[in-house]
Structure 1
């Protein structure tokens, strides 16, 4: 039996439709192995929504693109605290582009896993990414890859499924035993906030902007590649369907040809039968005419016979009494 972290990661990589059955099976296996505590922790894991699954999948498959998003969030929060107007405007523009690119990539990743995201799901994905930009704990929750529902930058973070501490494993932030964020804060790479100096030097801001642009480009490239793969799969499927339709059309043409041949043969047989019928009717009429003539001849012969008998009786001498 694997440890909790490994099993939880495997479970939250599954589409929502298969999560509950896999979680219950893992908990049952833990109970059979005698680890009732692990079984209870696994059983407490919540099934992710479709939007949460898409974000979890995005983090797993495209961590290199998600990392700059989390770093951009730290820079935004620092700029907001420092009231750095120009820097904040630049970072906000980067945020809009990166969130849009990652939302599209999450949609394609979910589609590749067999799940279709509707408009409502895409809005939840986008608001979750914005929440990760706005709040450090939300960023840690996103980076953990075990979200169970969408996050909202204007609402408090939902409680984690369990309160067991993580074992120090993180990706862009701490990870709780049930998938929630820890409360450990990373040291911001900024200068002293009390001095009122900017949170990041110009070269650091440029580096962050470059990282964000690289992440946008990677996200756009990955989205284009996935779209190309989807188009190739669709083209292959259509080609197979066209080939199947062509084969069916050929078979149907063969059937139609055989049907036409059978119809022609049937029409020939029908024509012969009609000719035979007409010939039979003619012979029948001839036979009837002959029979009628024979009947008249017979009747005349009978009448002649009767007249002959009558004459014979008259000519015959009378016998003595």
Structure 2
């Protein structure tokens, strides 16, 4: 529900002509289980031969180097890749730090990060479907006629089940869910096939009139879906998050929202850098934080607002 509250606040600020400003945060070091071992994201100085860059990584580190995802976007140009069998990676975290420093010295490298594994944040069912509207005063906004008309919201998540009757029952121009991509499978159908979380988020934002008698916070918006999560509980990777936000930006979203958490609060990590650029380009980005409380991870470890 945190994401919905942030999103509603963003809608209100946009409607009133203000720009939200969230200061960057810092936190504890990355936890081991959040890092994809041997996987990295490199931002490059200019367009050029990606394979040539990966060949230089191979010459520098040895082992095998495989391309994961091309990150060829207006605000972020780079590549993610996997290194295996390199003697430079032996030695745990210290060995990985040495390998990263060696790669960061290569020509064209602006910045290099370890690949992280975001997890979906949890959410609780509400017995009273109107309670969130009352608590966040959405009901008062509806009374004043603010329902999101003309606003395009990109949902970066598990996709959206656009066949659901409360979500328009169709996909494409003229439908509630009118644009998007399945970046995980690499096709143009952002259907939420197995998880349901993105569908849940879409319902909070824009559920249409239904048999249960409630509607979304902004039922007149147009939704876009970027699927970046697979089936199962393994989560996704930070390069997918970067690709999802940039795809939503380039698809013309007015607001981009995601419900996920990283074991990093640093403003310098790859996702924070990429999403902050989108926010600075004029598109507010909201990220749910604080939904999972374990009591041992620290206040700022489980997710953070990256738009600043």
Please give the TM-score of this superposition, normalised by the length of structure 1.
Answer: 0.24
Rg larger for? 1
The one of the two structures with greater contact order (alpha-carbon pairs below 8 A, sep at least 6) is 2
